[in-house]
Structure 1
Amino acid sequence: MQVEFCGEWFDLDEQEPFLIGREGDLEVDDNPYLHRQFLTITQVEGMWWLNNVGSRLSATVTDSDGHVQAWLAPGARLPLVFARTTVLFTAGPTTYELTIVGSSPTFTSSTPSLHAGGETTIGPISFTESQTLLILSLAEPVLLGRGTTASIPTSATAARRLGWNITKFNRKLDNVCDKLHRQGVRGLRGGQQQLAVNRRARLVEHAVASRLVTQADLELLEANAREMQAQE
């Protein structure tokens, strides 16, 4: 089992836990929002496990194709059963991505069949063009820096990128989060119908990990920017 982060590779010891955080075997970043000890990878009776040993942060875990996704909350653990597992997590304004590679995968994922419709189809959920643009405006830095770290734009910055006012942006963000929440995506809403404070980060993690949007889709943002320039 190996872990890759920002181009650096780490070999795991079957007898010792591999610690990921501000301190440990993989020192991610000197980020005060990141736990000193956040994730561990351990082997128990021949099975490798990813454990969230933090108290506040969650991680988005997916297979290499984005077909299977899980939200790893504090105190939870997941078996590492795929050849390549992608882990994304956000601490403060920064999103991190690492890859866990195993030599003997237990499962492989299959490619689902997708059918295009009148709207932009992203996986099993359909989004309007404006909703897709909103997702891209927030995910753009992460998509451009896959495998590294990136800062998620503020709502005001993303709204300017799209040429929208903040009221329109927040309304569209509410709609996107509600749509995904109804499909069972966790972490986009807080208790008593209050939107979660970190919903933008969670939205980006989910969208990138599950391939709702990819780097190729960023051309939609550029086309929107060209259209705005033409109207000036």
Structure 2
Amino acid sequence: MRHGILPGQLVVDDLVGQCVVLNPGQQLTTGRAAEFAVGDDDEFMHRKFLQFWSDGPTWTVTNHGSRISATVHPRGHNSFAQLLVGPGASHPLPPGLSSVVFATSLCTYELHLTVARTLQPPDPAPVASDDLTVGRFTPNTEQRLLLRALAQPLVDSPGAGMDRVPAVRDLERILGWSQKKVNTKIDYLCRTLEANGVPGFTARTGNAPARRFALARYAQENYWSLKSRGTF
């Protein structure tokens, strides 16, 4: 939490000079002609686009646009999957640090958000040691290296598209593996995740690029969770 930011507040920072701290009950609208100007010289930006507001302790983002979507990405140990906020949609903001990224045909924009709330839930009650959870997945060393290599470009640039996912030849160079080993590890890891109940993975029907993209998205969405467990 930033120094001087109180629990319950929201910080919105455009990284180029505008930074606003909101108290519960306040609201802020961004856009080309809004109080928090974003893309004021971009004719494709909505005049009023994203609105940040609170209902009690919960901060919410609402998309008042008609054609531009925004995506909320984690920037810290929040361990949440990215959130897509389409036109007309509203989503609660996760606690801690995040980025909201959106784009017009002229420019990509990024706002940094801080929801100043505790990030640590209370410890769960102990369970019996033989109470195994179906679907528990702990990657081995080589799987960890592969997931980290796939996720890193997306984590470093929250607004990046899937074109930033390393190709097989890039993974060969990064990991020092042969092409056959890279493809074999991708296929085996997809089968492992499928067997552990993770949706969206199958080595039988998906083509090779689709499996690689699915692994990259999985690694990005679970990056901070895996990192907090010492996996990365």
- TM category (shorter chain) comes to 0.5 to 0.7
Matched, 1:212 2:226: yes
Give the partner amino acid of 1:174: D
State the shift of 1:79 in Å.
1.4
The aligned counterpart of 1:101 is 114
Give the partner amino acid of 1:156: R
The aligned counterpart of 2:30 is 18
Q: Contact conserved, 1:50 with 1:79, CA < 8 A, in 2?
A: yes
The aligned counterpart of 1:132 is 144
Matches within 5 A, 1:215-226: none
The aligned counterpart of 1:85 is 97
Matched, 1:65 2:65: no
Q: Which moved more, 1:70-79 or 1:154-163?
A: 70-79
State the shift of 1:132 in Å.
0.9
Instruction: Measure, in 2, the Cα distance between the counterparts of 1:189 and 1:166.
Output: 21
Instruction: Measure, in 2, the Cα distance between the counterparts of 1:159 and 1:42.
Output: 43
Cα deviation, 1:49-91, whole Å, max 9, x if unaligned, reads 1356787978464484234x23424545431252x13247799
Q: Contact conserved, 1:97 with 1:146, CA < 8 A, in 2?
A: no
Q: Contact conserved, 1:58 with 1:71, CA < 8 A, in 2?
A: no
Q: In the superposition, relative to structure 1, how do residues 198 and 140 fare at CA in structure 2: closer, same or farther (>3 Å)?
A: closer
Instruction: Measure, in 2, the Cα distance between the counterparts of 1:77 and 1:161.
Output: 39
Matched, 1:43 2:53: yes
Q: In the superposition, relative to structure 1, how do residues 202 and 87 fare at CA in structure 2: closer, same or farther (>3 Å)?
A: farther
Q: Which of 156, 176, 179 is 2:189 aligned to?
A: 176
Give the partner amino acid of 1:50: V
Q: Contact conserved, 1:97 with 1:149, CA < 8 A, in 2?
A: no
Q: Which of 110, 114, 132 is 2:121 aligned to?
A: 110
The aligned counterpart of 1:203 is 218
State the shift of 1:110 in Å.
2.9
The aligned counterpart of 2:133 is none
The aligned counterpart of 1:158 is 171
Give the partner amino acid of 2:141: E
Q: TM-score, normalised to structure 2's length?
A: 0.53
Q: Contact conserved, 1:98 with 1:147, CA < 8 A, in 2?
A: no
Q: In the superposition, relative to structure 1, how do residues 17 and 7 fare at CA in structure 2: closer, same or farther (>3 Å)?
A: closer
Q: What SS does structure 2 have at the residue aligned with 1:159?
A: helix
Q: TM-score, normalised to structure 1's length?
A: 0.53
State the shift of 1:189 in Å.
4.5
The aligned counterpart of 1:2 is 11
Identity of aligned residues (%): 21
User: Structure 1: 5+ residue runs without aligned partners?
Assistant: 114-123, 219-232
How many residues were matched structurally? 186
Give the partner amino acid of 1:203: Y
Cα deviation, 1:147-187, whole Å, max 9, x if unaligned, reads 8979442232122221223333233223334544565666x
Instruction: Measure, in 2, the Cα distance between the counterparts of 1:19 and 1:180.
Output: 41
User: Structure 2: 5+ residue runs without aligned partners?
Assistant: 1-9, 125-135
